[in-house]
Chains A and B, each alone.
Chain A
Amino acid sequence: MQTDPRPRRYLESSSFKMALLFTILLSLSAAILGYFLIDLGKRDFLRESEAAIDIEISMMTTLADTGPDNLIPYLTMRASADPVVRFRYESATGERLAGTIDTLPERPDRITEGVLRFPLETEAGPQDFAAKIHTFADGSRVIVARNVHDLIASYDQLRQLSALIMILMLAVIVVSFAISYFVVSRINRIAAIARNIVETGDLSQRLSIDSEWDDLSNLSQVLNGFLERIESLMRGIREVSNNIAHDLRTPLSGLRSDIEALKNQPVDEQKIDALLVEADRILGIFHALLRITNIEQGRRAEYFREVNLSTLLTDVADLYEPLAEERGLRLETELPPRLRLRGDGDLLFQMFANLLDNAIKFSPAGGVIRLTAGLEKGRITTCIEDQGSGIAESEKADVFKHFYRGDSSRSTPGNGLGLSLVKAVAELHQARILLEDAEPGLRVRLIFQPYQ
């Protein structure tokens, strides 16, 4: 696999590209919004008012044709009927003939061609009106004005709102770039450390965590835990391989010198057998180690079946009882008829066989070994108790380590892997192992998970 040796530049990152896409989409929305405001808003929002004024003027033109006397009462009537509309009817000389508009402002604003805009006093203070002027054939003029205050206010509101939206969009764009930059620089930092670990093989490095709130810090924490676990596993492997090298060197050199001693000697069946026993012992250590590794990997959980632990313990006791008897020991069992457990029968058998084997090995002649099992608070609990010298408090943490041999066990046969296997099997079954003082002797208590 080819990996890029450089950290990814911000402009090449997917985060930047996402932010860019985001910006384009937001700009598009802003453009559409702007179009609506500029193109439609300004010209169209007063069109209704202008049309209403036009209707008003055409009515008046029709009335004026019938005679000016009809126009003035109509104007008075309209003005009082509709407060939105105001009029001024003036003669050709500019004298007010009817209507409520006193004077026209000197320079009124023009909204569009022919439409004026000026403020007029109303009950709610001065408000904007849109107006049109129509000059009749006799030179007299009529000014028709409609109150457009609310319309203009809404339009202004709309404009302010749009401006606010655009500002927010801009803020979103800025923030999205900032976030993407933050993410990219964080990821680059994580990647740089990871790359450094890959290159140097130094597993003691950790990712820096400077905040708690963001997901990347969370990820960094998880990755640090991950590194921690790998480091401890690596340490374990190194320790084990050191131990293997150390533990196998002695029997291997023994084997070597024994083979050397056979040079120029007649082939002796017995000596060959002795060599084979030595070789088998070394292979046995490998076998046991691989087995423990295999169990620790936990793949065997797929072979879990329902096991009756009572039957299994009876079988183990049955297998070891003659051995105990031969050593002058008494093996006592106290087992209920049925204890259901999900597990791997072969491994559980191996585990209890190892424990009984140990108990037999370390018991003084005439001693009693007790194997009991029962249910405590819904959990299966088993105890194997001997009357040997027990395990010192200081040694308890070490006895499960690979190749560990206590002072009292140096003289007994064994490879120092028996309890490691016990621990591996117990962990596979999520059982807790307790080493208790049986006064005198050792009590190994195993507490299993409730049956599911």
Chain B
Amino acid sequence: MKILIIEDDAKIRDYIHKGLREAGHTADAAEDGETGQHLALTEKYDVLIVDRMLPKIDGLTLVKTLRGSGNLVGVLILSSLGDVDDRVTGLRAGGDDYLVKPFAFVELLARVEALGKRMAAPGAKQTTHLKAGDLEMDLLSRKVRRGGKVVELQAREFRLLEYLLKFKGQLVTRTMLLEGVWDYHFDPQSSVIDVHISRLRKKLGDTDSRLIKTVRGAGYIIEDGF
């Protein structure tokens, strides 16, 4: 994936830049809004990582300008700790996802990759069938089969599995699951998601966690072949 980082803090910028390259992505970096906007308008990127507070042109204005010119690139907005509750304005300005600093790099990477995938496969060609190994999921009849055998799932478990399968081969963090499956943005105090996952594993007969793998300190992943 080709990613543009627009961030004025050199430390964070280099840290993201390095991390993304190590994860196998091509990344460009800009240190202010003007350079960033110029790059975003002239080059073709899969995902932009935009800091809210930028010199010259601030992040939200930049995103609004891009959207105004019909640019539909995936945008992840970064904001500092102080503006935790400004996510609504961030998303309203045209951001696709929102992450508060400081963040774990795995969280950023997981979100950027999910965003890139979402942008690459727009809503037009909606898949109705998801598959990983011997696990099959029919989104129309809402049936789940493992090795041909039907597995009965509750509505929420179904959505959880659907989310994990949609981003098959990619890390999905706990907060991504909370936001994607429950539609609420909040901080759980206990490891509620883990309990849901272990329940799902039990129903799928995934006793040794080979189907849904736990990535320590980060989240979960369903590998393509597992």
Contacts and interface: CB of A to CB of B under 8 A. Distances in A.
Interface of A: 273, 276-277, 280, 283-284, 286-288, 290-291, 294-295, 299-300, 303, 315, 318-320, 322-323, 325-326, 345-347, 349-350, 353-354, 357, 360-361, 413-414, 418
Contact of B182 (A284, A315, A323): A315
Contact of A353 (B88, B100, B102, B188): B188
B189 A287 contact: no
B192 A319 contact: yes
B85 interface: yes
A36 B183 CA distance: 85
Given A276-B217, A277-B217, A323-B195, A350 B186 contact: yes
B216 interface: yes
Given A323-B192, A346-B184, A291 B104 contact: no
Contacts of A322: 192, 195-196, 198-199
A287 B182 contact: no
Given A318-B156, A345-B184, A287 B195 contact: no
Contacts of B192: 319-320, 322-323
B41 interface: no
Across the A-B interface, the 6 shortest Cβ-Cβ residue pairs: A350-B186, A322-B195, A349-B184, A346-B185, A357-B189, A294-B85
A276 B104 CA distance: 9
B217 A353 contact: no
B225 interface: no
A312 to B, nearest CB: 8
A234 to B, nearest CB: 20
B216 A273 contact: yes
A291 B86 CA distance: 11
Contacts of B184: 315, 345-346, 349-350
26 contacts: A273-B217, A276-B217, A286-B81, A290-B81, A290-B82, A294-B84, A295-B85, A300-B85, A315-B183, A319-B188, A320-B192, A322-B192, A323-B190, A323-B191, A323-B195, A325-B195, A345-B184, A346-B184, A346-B185, A347-B186, A349-B182, A353-B188, A353-B189, A357-B189, A360-B190, A414-B189
A286 B198 CA distance: 30
A422 to B, nearest CB: 11
A353 B190 CA distance: 10
Interface in B7-62: none
A315 B189 CA distance: 16
Interface of B: 81-82, 84-85, 88, 100, 102, 104, 156, 182-192, 195-196, 198-199, 216-217
A418 B189 CA distance: 8
Contacts, number: 70
A303 B87 CA distance: 11
Contacts of B188: 319, 353, 357
Given A319-B192, A320-B192, A322-B199, A353 B85 contact: no
B107 to A, nearest CB: 11
Contact of A288 (B88, B102, B187, B199): B187
Given A273-B217, A300-B85, 17 more contacts: A273-B216, A276-B217, A287-B187, A294-B84, A299-B85, A319-B192, A319-B196, A322-B195, A323-B195, A345-B184, A349-B184, A350-B184, A353-B186, A357-B188, A357-B189, A361-B190, A413-B190
B189 to A, nearest CB: 5
Contacts of A295: 85
B162 to A, nearest CB: 16
A290 B84 contact: yes
A393 to B, nearest CB: 26
A66 B190 CA distance: 134
Q: Which of B84, B85, B198, B216 has the most CB of A within 10 A?
A: B85
A323 B88 CA distance: 29
Nearest to B156: A318
Contacts of A315: 182-184
Nearest to B197: A322
Residue of A273, A303, A318, A346 contacting most chain B CB atoms (<10 Å): A346
Contact of B81 (A273, A280, A287): A287
A389 B217 CA distance: 33
B88 A303 contact: yes
Given A318-B156, A323-B195, A291 B182 contact: no
Nearest to B154: A318
Contacts of A290: 81-82, 84
A273 B215 CA distance: 12
A322 B196 CA distance: 6
Contacts of B183: 315
B214 to A, nearest CB: 13
Contacts of B196: 319, 322
Contacts of A347: 186
Contact of A291 (B84, B88, B102, B198): B84
Name the residue in B84, B104, B156, B199 with the highest tally of chain A Cβ atoms < 10 Å from its Cβ. B84
B78 to A, nearest CB: 15
Nearest to B102: A283
Nearest to B191: A323
Contacts of A414: 189
Contacts of B182: 315, 319, 349
Contacts of B104: 276, 280
Nearest to B188: A353
Given A273-B217, A346-B185, A357 B85 contact: no
Contacts of B190: 323, 357, 360-361, 413
A80 B199 CA distance: 130
A287 B84 contact: yes
Contacts of A357: 188-190
A326 B187 contact: no
Nearest to A286: B81
